[in-house]
Structure 1
Amino acid sequence: MSATMALADRHKAAVPRGISTKTLYAARAQNAELWDIEGKRYIDFAAGIAVLNTGHRHPAVMAAVAQQTEAFTHTCFNVAPYETYIRLAERLNAAAPGDFAKKTMFVTTGAEAVENAVKVARRFTGRSAIIAFGGGFHGRTMMTMALTGKVSPYKKGFGPFPAEVYHAPFPKKSHGIDTAKALEGLRQIFLNDVEPARVAAIIVEPVQGEGGFNIAPFEFLQELRAICDEHGILLIADEIQTGIARTGRMFAIQHADVVPDLITMAKGLGGGFPLSAVTGRAEIMDAADPGGLGGTYAGSPIGLAAANAVLDVIESEDLCARATEIGTRMRNRFEELARRNSFSCIGDVRNLGAMVAVEFVKDRDSRKPDADIVTALIANAQDKGLILLSCGVDANIVRLLAPLTIPMEQVDEGLDIFEAALTEVVGKRQ
């Protein structure tokens, strides 16, 4: 029995089946490469689901963490605060869009960041309702599951969920939902479900992550901002997957020239160490009474040290420009594949920076989603040494989230593997 099979048996016996995993077990990793316990090498186009924008074990991040561990690893910021928390808050306040005073709090996970954004929005406005979008993903806690607009597997069997959460349609041009239709859906919520005066916040991903890498049209985000301003509603940008240089800007919503009231971030912020944040207008962030925010592990010194190094790397290595370069290279390659008759299963290619998606369909006329080809492609690519992820409400989209520090020759190597794996999958179906 191989080491992988033996560990898989132990895994099955010890870990709940609700935690979905791949069938490879990591042994070590560096930048955009990962080796499993059998010694097999992979190109990593997943980056820990957009966590490793600065790659596995970036030297600057590892050095900052090592230095912090020599000082202290935990005190609880509520008990004995530390300068690195304040410094990172200052840097994110400066980096976030908006010419006004801002404040930042730190927690540990993306779901915690969203939960706290909702808390401060409700406390500041005195309102209770929240509007999210179909296909959106905001976490697996009870509140964030309520906000998530995808039932299976995230919400199935876990209800009831917190009340006063409403879902509007998200614009998806390839599915016939344009900005006008999406905004009409929001208007219907105001007419049929909840009056605007009871809505504390609208939360939106500038690019939907789990929902299928659907890019919000810039005019849609601008209209949301106007609607929020009209009705005294706060706009929350969920930048957990899109933020920290992933799309070619520090935050994806900056592409639309829109200033949100609150921004949630996590994933790429900690460079591989758990850390999340909420940054927002100072008066909103100050609405909670002392003790209303925080947590035992909120703002870990280790995560803060890593995040300060991540921001240094983004600047010194110009990772925003690299994200654009990587995304353009990938999109050009996939569009070339889509133009070939043999790859008519490719229904759409889209990207914003280095958030790249390839959508698979049974045929381009019906545009019926094809999840089976995605499953086969991801498995075949893994066999050939490439780590890929799927997404989308129909599980028919391959998303690519390569580290922004990946060498271009490894980008090309991964794309070659992708093409070879897809060619084999398509050939078997003919």
Structure 2
Amino acid sequence: MSNYFIHTIELRKAIDIEKYKELISKCNFNSKNHKWIGFQNFINLEYIQYGIRLEIRKCTNNEIKNYSKPFLITVIVNMNMLIYNMDLTKQIHSTDEFDEAIETLFDIMDKIDSDFQIGEIDEFNLSRLDIARDVHGIPENIIKEVNKMLYRIPMYDGYTNNKSLEEKCPSFMRENSFNIENNSQGFEFVVYNKHQAALDNCYYNKCVDYFKDTLRIELRCKRKYIRQHFLEKNLKRTLKNAYVNMSSSVSCVYNRLFKFPTNLCHLESKMMIKYLFDETGNKKARCRRMVTLLDELDKYPKEDLQTALDNVYPSDKRQNNIKKHYERYGVSPITMRGRPIPFIQSLDSLLGFYPPTDQEIKLYLMAKKKYGKSVFFQKALVE
């Protein structure tokens, strides 16, 4: 059984204006199931109990160039709700269940075509597929700190923060969501506070409670990524191929994302300085240079690690040496100064990508000896 699941898929089909007018004529906009959501854009919620929502909207200029038609039908499907109805706390974690969900999707799409005449499912293209994994039991103050840390770790070229999301969403806070995109490869990678998302989306109380202390990891695959990694001869085979490759797909993206090691622990600043002082022994110059970087990052909490390195050590050779020293001692220069969190294990083990190292466990026990039960350690399942 896998901890990963496919959460959402989108099926897309371009239509002409005659078909658009025909679909409008079938809607009753006085009912709760059909709603306008902007100029010439509307949704059909008749099949929402199956986790399916239909959106019909006008194409953007770029989409018109690609599709040569002015309107789009998008079928948005929550794969888990196909067999679990309206229960948002349940997910599909077996191939048998996923096969059942696919068959259910095809049956319901036949019904929608019969009711609404949108066309057969094979006329649609798979334009989005979201792979997700929940890590339960992480305190929310840790989740917030982790998200802020992720933004401070330098990324390789091609990966950028999703600034359009931050600009368009006034309530967006980096402590709740780490959201990056790679447009050239066609995906988004997201780590976020699922409990906060459940509150923001007005989930029912049982669901909100279920997602307390839950961190969600998502790989949101767009059409380009799907075509390069999952595409098969038909939709069923494409979905099944994506399902069996969920874990490797997410791990591959994570492992290629950051320039700085993510297998290092994070300590409270004063404990970090003492630890470095003890570990470096008579190499006091090394300790001093490491603490200089530490102070720079603590002084400017929104500054990323690469900017801090450039500010204090412009030489590439010195920067590489500092990185190697931190890696040798198993700690990250990104600390928790001024916050009541004495220790955070490595991102690799906290997010469940790798088991904790011996050095990591040693640092955890050191922090626990000093701070007691307030020190959190996640024994996450590793895929």
Give the TM-score, by structure 1 length: 0.23
TM-score under structure 2 length normalisation = 0.25
Structure with more relative contact order (C-alpha pairs < 8 Å, separation 6 or more): 1
